[in-house]
Structure 1
Amino acid sequence: MHHATQLFPGSGLGLWLFWLLLLLAAAGVAYSLTRRLKLVAAGRRGVVLGQWGRRIWDVVVYVLGQKRMFSDPVPGVMHALIFWGFCVFLLRSLALVYEGITGGHGLPFLSGGFGTVYGFTKDVFAVLVLLGVGVAMFRRAVTRPARLEYSADAWFILGMIATLMITDITMDAPRLAAGAAEGFQGAVVSKFVAGWFAGSAAGTLDAVYAVSWWLHVLVLFVFANYLPYSKHFHVYLSLPNVLLRPLEQPGKLTKMDLENIEEGTTLGAAKVTDFTWKQLLDLYTCTECGRCTVVCPTTITGKPLIPRDFTIDLRDHLTANSGLILSGKKGELSDLAGPVINPETVWACTTCRWCEEACPLFISYTDKIVEMRRHLVLEKAEFPPEAEPAFRGMETAGNPWQLPADSRADWARGLDVPLASEAGEFEYLFWVGCAGSFDDQGKRTSVALARLLKAAGVKFAILGPEETCTGDAARRLGNEYLFQMLAQANVETLNRYGVKKIVTNCPHCLHTLKNEYPDFGGQYEVVHGTQLLAQLLREGRLKLTKELHQELTFHDPCYLGRTNREFDAPREVLAAIPGLQLKEAPLSREKSMCCGAGGGRMWLEEKLGSRINQTRLQQLEGSGCQDVAVACPFCAIMIGNAQGELGREQAKTLDVVQLAAQALGES
């Protein structure tokens, strides 16, 4: 093409201007990224990395494949189109920079057949990205979903993306109209637009190209520099955040080294820099999409905890104090609880992890909240007063009900259930748990499992008075000292009896024994009662023959389902019961909402907003059923209480194990 002006890309003054803009843009990006990453690096060390093959595959699936985005189809497709278009246009951006610094030369490999294919691909994606931007604008201007934050930032970003796509087409169109060899011959959309310039003078074509080229480059450079100060910083950080995410069992909390505490060491997270560098990376990766807020049971029921806002508040605090942090004055930072995060927010969380499941970029929330709870409990002794009796009961009696430890096996009287101390060899240790030992509904479930195991010929035993609370609630309420005391005592007891396999009806005990006790020397194969029953049914060792003419729905416990990925076993057991009809609730399996008892909330008063258990019951009633089957003793308590509170006197809450025992036909 004819170069009509000294400002034309790649010639005269234009060449010098481009170099100046490129250097300024690169320096700006380097400065911003370095400053942000220094803030991230101010976090604690101790993040364990490894399993790089799996990490890279996760990037392919969750970043490139956008897997989690499609849980919400319309915005998911919209975002995927924009993201994939962004990936396609990375090569185009590289080509433009190369063209600018070489005086107008194109990348050699973008000529010929590859250039034709790429030209077609980028043009198609230019249209798809514009379609995605249009959908995003429509959602913000018209449908206005409640989960979105409405700010000028989003409009600015969408405007820049649209400008990049439009100027890309208007760069190629005049070159193709002029018959320039450097034009992408496969660029079908640009060829169509080139028809608009048929018969135009060379100077006009030059001007359109030059204006489009400079506008595209300027927007590209502004975009790159704006991102670190925008919620769209995730464009830079989404890949590293997914690549570096923790790969251990979801919901597993880190073990605090309480035996080697140095003077001046902070227990838990008092200040923002007490989080790990990976937790701080989370803060800047957040897209503010709000997916976490629409599923959080505390947000839904009007509690002060809103996961997105929790992350944003921490991020803004980290940024606002960048001067102190980068100058080495971290000690002058304010405490988080109070000035930055309302303590009510810290104590509201049920640790159900639905927010983490909903997040496309694997941002964590419960670990940060528990770290703040640890500091409040261990260093400041500031926690809800209702937690104190539960802590005292776990410490002195081995259970949060504060009932005598020697009555832990009273539920088994007359059932000929052997104690481990007397049983000799046994295959499974039945971990009864506190609820299974002391709560009336829980005791009925314990009796039911014992009868089913006997019917299937499974050799099992219980610890009886030697069993003590696993410490799940203590740990999630921040009392790590108490948890470790209980864990070490239980591991010592279990190892003394050579226990290899454990079955329990409590998903919280399951999670703690299976995933957290290995840190204390307890390596066991742990299964939930429904998992073992489903296996026995498949093997033909257990047969359920009595018909139960009952219609009910099933509530998936968070710690069995979402955290430990067991959704099928309870349903398999229910399906084996003759006559029983199961109707799925609208929110079930991965999308089951918490009953409100997790995270130690079983022992705390629910003072703010509406009650989580009542909201969950109303969701379950969307199945058309009044009766509810559960697979967790705490869910049984919470859902049963909700039925009473809402006047559902005829409705029943029954554990799956109880229903299976009824189908044995035993009296």
Structure 2
Amino acid sequence: MWQLIQFLLFLLVAGCGIYLTVKVIYHRYSYIKLGKTAVLRKNLKERTMALLSQVFGQKKLLKDRKSGIMHVVMFYGFIILQFGALDIILRGLTGRHLPIPGFRYFQFLQELTVFLVLIAAAYAFYRRYGEKLKRLKRGWKPSLVIFFIFFLMLAVLFTLGFDHVRMGEEASPYAPISSLIVLAFSGIPENSAAVLYYAAWWAHLLILLSFALYIPQSKHFHLITAPINIFLHRTDPAGKLRSIDLDDEEAESFGVGRIEDFERTQLLDLYACVECGRCTNMCPAAATGKVLSPMHLITKMRDHLTEKGSAVTSKSPWIPNLDAGIGAHVLRSKPDPNGTWPMAKMSEEAAAQATPGTGGVSEPVSDTDPAGFLHRPVTDIEPTITWHKFSWGKTTDKDIKDVNLIGDVITEDEIWSCTTCRNCEDQCPVGNEHVDKIIDLRRYLVLTEGKVPQEGQRAMQNIERQGNPWGMSRNDRSKWMEGLRVPTVRENPDFDYLFFIGSMGSYDNRSIKVTRSFVRLLNEAGVNFAVLGNEEKGSGDTPRRLGNEFLFQQLCKENIAVFEKYHVRKIVTACPHTFNAFKNEYPEFGLKAEVLHHTQLLEQLVMEGRLKPRHFVKERITYHDSCYLGRYNGVFDSPRNILRAIPGAELVEMKRSRENAMCCGAGGGRMWMEEGAGKRVNLARTEQALEVRPTVISSACPYCLTMLSDGTKMKGVEESVKTKDIAELLAESVFGPV
């Protein structure tokens, strides 16, 4: 009779728990469906490999070795323990174990897994409250899952232990932990042992069902959504943005001005976020005191989607529905007009850590530095984290229908602070795409509302009128060629490579030196090349990253027409931004040409012996990875191989290099806009370079070169630490000192 009652109660409780869990998941699914339908490329093989490597291989999580190992233990521990949970439930209902071959070995594995999971949970608690990592949130909500795990593991052990006691079994080496319970409770009456067993069994079941119901209502929804998100990730190149159909006559707006304007896969990102803070920890904007935090960008939009979705679908997101009718999440405070709130509120602890000579900045606080942001560690995300903590919350003053995505949820300062470096996405263990969302928000501001920072607007107007961001005459584009043998496409119609110089290499005095060095090397190697001369225009990267999709597409189509006119088959450029646009974005509009970065071609020429570095360049060189060359396109080794081929050169790596390299601050159109908040990104990156005591900071990007040159000037070390492009260093070794 008892077994029947037990079974009926189990069906009732488990059925209610599963029903409520499915209901919560379905409600959030209905919110995601408010977004636009996403068009995905099939690429089943690539998607499957991503799922295997990132979900089962934990590839992204292991970028942080400590927390990665902790998560691996948790992940595989819970997979093993699901079989253990089934065994425990079956045992309590039927008195039988799962038919697992070698059950005693499984029993040992189960208890060992429980022990390891408890250690992992303890370490997770320590990381949050002992190490106090700035990227991790603290409080009862972020910590609730640790208590769930702790009590669930105890319930497993007590259920196993009291099962042994009630069955009169002795301690066993195959049950090392539950045997301790056997030893402690041996000799108690059989009825008492049965009562304790069923109490533990029901505790295990209730905690398990409560945990399952809690998961989709918390950040731990990623346990369900992350694998789906990773499988459905965009398989386009990292450097390719989504295009807009500007000819759509039915479109009421362009870009994203409402949460439902995002595609459904983008909204799935919001529920996949685990709030680990790795994205914010690597973000150059957050690290230098701007208001942008990629993690909070996602979580704020998630809160907004949940509340708006609940209002639109009339489906409550919570069980029980405790939040009914109490307002909506909005920004309760905004940064001042200069966006300096986070840096001005920098913690005293962070300021105290900035000790001269230890990697911090040694300049004293002065009248020109009232916030003290120079006198601090090289980077610090705490001010930004703190601002978001106190600025985001519930209000009863606004109904969710009156909350604007841009303004009430995401500020324009956040939108324009992004350098599009994609370090956030490279670090994200659940495949979230932050940059595309920011660009979509920019597109709405620019194309629909006509809003853009003044400097950015000026740059785009100049590009539209004169083909360059400064507004200099189109006819001056080829002035850099004076005194060099540089054939144009008209003079050399049978060229192999079109050297696309770009605006920086054509007009900027510092970048022109790089252009001329590269041309000398091409001539020395006997490369058959040509340039467009005054027919060249900008690639459109700057307008596109600033949100002006119309201007980008116009330039793109005009450039492709010119390339087709001159039968261009191969393009080489010294600008990673141009390289990325031509390689990843132009093919969608019809470009059919091989695209190389100048370091790739130079490496090839050196390896083939067509360029011979023979003169010693006795310098200690650290190389700065351009985001658009390295993280976007995987070109990490070509520049380094060139430097290693230079006799006398010593290559030293910064702490943040290759995939983890920090942005110089110029990407995403930021090259043409002033930084009004916090510390300058290029200054922070220069300080990171100076930590390895170089005599030369090298780069392979005209934007990076400019930013790092300015950084050395701000530090007052421009005489002792030079900034040079890879082409300049190679030219110095091939031709000798100038």
TM-score range, shorter chain: over 0.9
TM-superposition CA deviations, 1:612-663 (whole Å, max 9, x none): 1111100100111242111100001111111112222313111011111111
Does residue 1:109 correspond to 2:104, yes or no?
Answer: no
What is aligned with 1:268?
255
Aligned to 2:83: 91
**Structure 2: which amino acid aligns with 1:301?**
T
2:433, 2:139 → 1: CA distance?
Answer: 24
Match of 1:120 among 98, 108, 111: 108
C-alpha separation in 1, matches of 2:717 and 2:447: 41
In structure 1, the residue matched to 2:192 is 204
Residues 184 and 391 (structure 1), Cα distance of their counterparts in 2 relative to 1, 3 Å cut: farther
- 1:361 is aligned to 430
Please identify, of 427-436 and 83-92, the stretch whose mean Cα deviation from structure 2 is larger. 83-92
Alignment of 1:164-563 (within 5 A): 164-179=152-167, 186-264=174-252, 266-326=253-313, 334-563=403-632
Q: CA deviation at 1:363?
A: 0.8
Separation in structure 2 between the aligned mates of residue 331 and residue 302 of structure 1, nearest angstrom: 30
> How big is each residue's C-alpha offset from its partner over 1:321-378, in whole Å with a ceiling of 9 and x where there is no partner?
12333269x9956431111111111000000011111111111111000000000000
What is the CA–CA distance in structure 2 between the aligned matches of 1:445 and 1:347, rounded to whole Å?
30
Task: State the shift of 1:184 in Å.
Answer: 11
For 1:304 and 1:297, the matched residues in 2 are separated by 11
Letter in 2 for 1:51: N
Q: What is residue 21 of structure 2 aligned with on the other side?
A: 29
More deviation in 462-471 or 371-380?
462-471
Structure 2 residue aligned with 1:619:
688
Asked whether the equivalents of residues 47 and 278 of structure 1 are also in contact (C-alpha less than 8 Å), the reply is: no
Pairwise CA distance, 1:120: 2.3
Cα deviation for residue 236 of structure 1 reads 1.5
Q: Using the TM superposition, give the Cα deviation of residue 579 of structure 1 relative to its aligned residue in structure 2, in angstroms.
A: 1.2
Does structure 1 retain, via aligned residues, the 8 Å contact 2:307–2:400?
no
In the alignment, structure 1 residue 566 sits paired with structure 2 residue 558? no
Any idea what SS the aligned residue of 1:552 has?
strand
Task: Write out per-residue CA displacement over residues 592-631 of structure 1, whole angstroms, 9 at most, x where no aligned residue.
Answer: 1111100000011110111111111001001112421111
Matched-pair identity in %: 37
TM (norm. structure 1) is 0.94
Q: Give SS of 1:370's match.
A: helix
Contact 1:25 1:222 in 2 (8 A): yes
Distance in structure 2 (CA, Å) of the matches to 1:568 and 1:509: 19
Q: In the alignment, what sits opposite 2:663?
A: 594
Contact 1:116 / 1:184 at 8 angstroms: preserved in 2? no
Aligned equivalent of 2:375: none
User: In 2, Cα distance between the equivalents of 1:519 and 1:140?
Assistant: 45
Residues 369-378 or 619-628, more deviating: 619-628
Matched, 1:45 2:33: no
In 2 relative to 1, CA 180–425 (structure 1 residues): closer, same or farther, beyond 3 Å?
farther
1:662 paired residue number: 732
Of stretches 554-563 and 46-55 in structure 1, the one that deviates more from structure 2 is: 46-55
Contact 2:603 2:639 in 1 (8 A): yes
Q: For the structure 1 residues 191 and 53, does the alpha-carbon distance in structure 2 shift closer, same or farther, using more than 3 Å as the test?
A: farther
Question: Normalized against structure 2, the TM-score is what?
Answer: 0.85
Q: 1:97 and 1:189 mapped to 2: Cα distance? A: 20
The corresponding residue for 1:70 is: 62
| 2:162/2:193 contact within 8 Å kept | yes
Q: Does 1:653 align with 2:723?
A: yes
Q: Call closer, same or farther: CA 1:184–1:483 in 2, change over 3 Å.
A: farther
Q: Secondary structure at the match of 2:247?
A: coil
TM-aligned CA distance change 1:338 to 1:12, over 3 Å: same
Q: Following TM superposition, by how much is the alpha carbon of 1:196 offset from its aligned partner in structure 2, in angstroms? A: 3.0
What CA distance in whole angstroms lies between the structure 2 residues aligned with 1:420 and 1:39? 55
> Equivalent residue of 2:241, what SS?
coil
Whether contact under 8 Å (2:111, 2:176) holds in the other structure is: yes
Q: Which moved more, 1:47-56 or 1:157-166?
A: 47-56
Distance 2:85 2:264 in 1: 31
Matched, 1:57 2:82: no
SS across alignment from 1:654: strand
Q: Tell me the distance in 2 between the aligned counterparts of 1:656 and 1:400.
A: 25
> Secondary structure in 2 aligned to 1:629?
strand
Q: Which amino acid aligns with 1:584?
A: E
Partners of 1:33 and 1:184 in 2: how far apart? 42
Distance in 2 (CA, whole Å) between partners of 1:51 and 1:241 is 15
Contact 1:321 1:333 (8 Å CA) reproduced: no
Does 302-311 or 161-170 show the bigger shift? 161-170
Question: Aligned-pair distance for 1:550?
Answer: 1.7
The answer to whether the Cα contact below 8 Å between 1:297 and 1:593 also exists between their aligned partners in 2 is yes
Distance 1:532 1:77, change over 3 A: same
Alpha-carbon distance in 1 for matches of 2:140, 2:260: 30
Q: Secondary structure at the match of 1:430?
A: strand
Q: Aligned to 1:423, what secondary structure does the other structure show?
A: coil
| C-alpha separation in 2, matches of 1:218 and 1:25 | 9
Aligned residue identity for 2:246: L
1:132 and 2:202 matched:
no
Residue 572 of structure 2: SS of its match in structure 1? strand
**Distance verdict in 2 for CA 1:252–1:107, change over 3 Å:** farther
Whether the aligned pair in 2 keeps the contact of 1:40 and 1:277 (CA below 8 Å) is: yes
- Segments of structure 1 that go 5 or more residues without pairing to the other structure are none
- Post-superposition Cα deviations, 1:14-40, rounded to whole Å, max 9, x if no partner, equal 222211111111110111000001111
Partner Cα distance (1:76, 1:172) in 2:
30
Partner residue in 1 for 2:136: 148
CA-based RMSD: 2.1
589-598 vs 639-648, which moves further:
639-648
Take 1:315 and 1:409, find their aligned partners in 2: how far apart are those partners?
50
Contact residue 317 and residue 340 of structure 1 kept, 8 A? yes
Read off the aligned partner of 1:47 and give its amino acid letter: V
Aligned residue for 2:724, secondary structure, equals: strand
What are the ranges of 5 or more consecutive residues in structure 2 without an aligned counterpart?
A: 316-398
Q: Distance in 2 between matches of 1:331 and 1:211?
A: 44
Which of 640, 643, 651 aligns to 2:712? It is: 643
Amino acid at match of 2:288: T
Partner-residue secondary structure (3-state), 2:130? helix
CA distance in 2, matches of 1:435, 1:184: 74
Tell me, yes or no, if the aligned pair for 1:119 and 1:185 is still in contact at 8 Å: no
Partner of 1:596, secondary structure, is coil
Q: Structure 2 CA distance, aligned partners of 1:46 and 1:152?
A: 36
One-letter amino acid of the structure 1 residue matched with residue 119 of structure 2: L
2:262 counterpart letter in structure 1: F
Distance 1:487 1:333, change over 3 A: farther
